[in-house]
């Protein structure tokens, strides 16, 4: 059974810092990996999707990497801003049509 | 374009009552997913549909839970009878299943409280 772990569970940093969120998964036979953002009382917003054949994806100040063989992914946030404060969730898909298996998230606070 | 629409946003009801949660996926999306989120267990997949057909319901916790998708634009998740431990946020998500890698799009969820 696929298990997804996210470290750290919570993180608080001053505005402007670059930071890295970590995600690991136990079964490397994944189809894709997705990073989401969740604001309080809201649904999930998809940030980046990395296909199993890819190494990384970038969107603005966000960069996600994938090392399938070691079962790891990182989300890099450059020049953090208070508006980046949210919970970040990592999820893996094991087939093109399957549902996702989620980690429990990293609760991020960016201090102004 | 409208995103995934869920209703109601909040539901408070007494133990033993029937609860029905509703979801309208994004137009054109042909895969639909129901998830449940709790503090203890995080987000868990309950069931998903492809082209209105249930594919995997192994995440449905008990026979008290049932889901239907009568057409491409509507799905329901029903709990009967409801119990306090069913209290959670229930999310619906949809995606375009085109053989490639498409992201899932989530609704804002239904916050369910069973007293």
Each residue's pLDDT tens digit, B71-114: 999 999 999 999 999 999 999 999 987 756 788 999 999 999 99
CA distance A96 to A106: 26
**Which residue out of B32, B51, B60, B103 would a mutagenesis test of the A interface target, given it has the greatest number of A Cβ atoms within 10 Å?**
B103
**Closest C-alpha among A82, A78, A48, A54 to residue A67:** A54
- Which among A31, A46, A101 is the nearest to B104, CB-wise? A46
Is the minimum CB–CB distance between B44 and chain A shorter than 8 Å?
Answer: yes
**pLDDT tens-digit map of A34-89:** 999 999 988 999 999 999 999 999 999 999 999 999 999 999 999 999 999 999 99
In the structure encoding, which two tokens stand for residue B2, read together? 């409208």
Query: Cβ–Cβ of B108/A42 closer than 8 Å?
Result: yes
Cis amide linkage into residue B51, ω under 30° from 0: no
């Amino acid at each position: 059974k696929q298990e997804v772990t996210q470290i750290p569970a919570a993180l608080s940093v001053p505005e402007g810092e670059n930071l890295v969120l970590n995600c690991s998964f136990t079964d490397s036979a994944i189809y894709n990996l997705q990073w989401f953002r969740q604001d309080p009382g809201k649904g999930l917003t998809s940030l980046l999707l990395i296909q199993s054949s890819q190494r990384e994806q970038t969107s603005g100040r966000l960069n996600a990497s994938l090392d399938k063989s070691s079962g790891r992914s990182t989300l890099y946030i450059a020049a953090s801003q208070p508006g980046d404060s949210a919970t970040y969730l990592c999820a893996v898909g094991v087939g093109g049509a399957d549902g996702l298996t989620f980690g429990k998230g990293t609760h991020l606070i960016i201090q102004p | 374009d409208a995103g995934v629409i869920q209703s109601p946003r909040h539901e408070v009801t007494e133990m033993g009552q029937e609860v029905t949660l509703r979801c309208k996926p994004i137009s054109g999306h042909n895969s639909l997913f129901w998830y449940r989120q709790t503090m203890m267990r995080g987000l868990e997949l309950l069931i998903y549909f492809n082209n209105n057909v249930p594919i995997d319901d192994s995440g449905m916790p008990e026979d008290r839970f049932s889901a239907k998708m009568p057409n491409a634009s509507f799905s329901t998740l029903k709990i009967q009878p409801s119990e306090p431990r069913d209290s959670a946020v229930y999310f619906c998500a949809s995606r375009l299943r085109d053989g490639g890698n498409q992201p899932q799009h989530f609704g804002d969820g239904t916050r369910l409280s069973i007293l």
